[in-house]
Amino acid sequence: MKRYHVIVEGRVQGVGFRGFCMLQAQRRNLTGTVRNLTNGMVEVFIQGDEAKIDEFLAAVEKGDRFIRVDNISVKETAVVENEKRFGYAR
């Protein structure tokens, strides 16, 4: 199991990006959080099977017709034990 801290830049606020992340994570049984940052970027913590995380990151980078990802930064971080779901962070 791995956990990553991800910062996403681009057109990622006001276009359903957090919900898109939640759907992609839930489809892959991943846990973590997503939240908008005041600088217009989005912060994601994603945890689970590394292959599934790779799939998640590929889907996020591709986006959809409203989302445009210009840059994505990924750093490994400590696993959070007993995390049960993916949701919105405050």
Residues that are catalytic: 18, 36
Residue 28: other Cβ atoms inside 10 A: 18
CA distance 11 to 57: 16
CA-to-CA distance for 17 and 84, rounded, in angstroms? 21
